Amino acid sequence: MSKIESQYISGTPTREQVNDLISHYQNGTLIAAEKLAGVLTREFPSNNLTWKVLGEVLSATGRKSEALEANQTAIMIAPHDAAAHVNLGITLSELERLDEAEASYSQAIKLKSDFPEAYNNLSTTLKELGRLEDADAGFRQAIALTLTVPKPMSTWPICLKDWEG
């Protein structure tokens, strides 16, 4: 069996294809990213990563309804992918479907309780819904998850310098 045939059987794009797709998206070459994502979702329809990237590309190009479909497909393929739920929530928020966005972000948090982006996006949505106390609690959780405590030795010279005057 050839390498190409085994790709189709496994349902997984090559590392090079995935790297190219992500590179196009990150570099802002959205037309190329959309073309490649389209090819990869047709060739590997059960690969949720390509659907997630396609959703992000479509959203970035203003095609929110198409992005919604791609994000929903990604979740159907991998319902336990917290990032896919966040992507769906973002698209739903952009479509002003805030109650559904809230549910999507909440699902992401259920799947990955240490996901600051999910808390941040949920809180933004709750703020837009007028639920300020809930939003505040979520923002605080997002901040708590992103804060890092510096190692004592790395801050000691700064403290010593301040002390010496």
Determine the Cα–Cα distance for residues 72 and 79; give it in Å rounded to an integer.
Answer: 10
The 10s digit of each residue's pLDDT in 67-114 is 999 999 999 999 999 999 999 999 999 999 999 999 999 999 999 999
Nearest CA to 69 among 44, 110, 38? Answer: 38
Domain shared by 25 and 51, yes or no: yes
Query: What pTM does this model have?
Result: 0.81
Phi, psi of 22 (to 5 degrees): -65, -40
CA atoms within 13 A on the CB side of 123: 16
Final residue of a structural domain among 78, 100, 131: 78
Domain count, the chain: 2
The enclosing domain of 60 has a CATH number of: 1.25.40.10
Helices (H), 27-115: 30-43, 48-60, 64-77, 82-94, 98-111
User: For residue 137, what are its two tokens?
Assistant: 């609690």
Determine the Cα–Cα distance for residues 52 and 75; give it in Å rounded to an integer.
Answer: 9
Determine the Cα–Cα distance for residues 46 and 13; give it in Å rounded to an integer.
Answer: 10
Helix (H, G, I), strand (E, B) or coil at 27: coil
65 alpha carbon, distance to own chain's centre: 17
Final residue of a structural domain among 78, 94, 115: 78
Enter the DSSP assignment of 78.
-
Domain shared by 71 and 90, yes or no: no
pLDDT value for 90: 97
Query: Would you tell me the crossing angle of helices 15-26 and 48-60 to the nearest 10 degrees?
Result: 20
Final residue of a structural domain among 36, 60, 78: 78
Helix (H, G, I), strand (E, B) or coil at 1: coil
The 10s digit of each residue's pLDDT in 131-156 is 999 999 999 899 988 885 444 444 44
Domain shared by 49 and 92, yes or no: no
Full domain range(s) for residue 16: 1-78
70 alpha carbon, distance to own chain's centre: 13
Determine the Cα–Cα distance for residues 92 and 74; give it in Å rounded to an integer.
Answer: 14
Per-chain mean pLDDT for the chain: 86
Question: Is 160's pLDDT higher than 90?
Answer: no
How many residues appear in the chain? 165
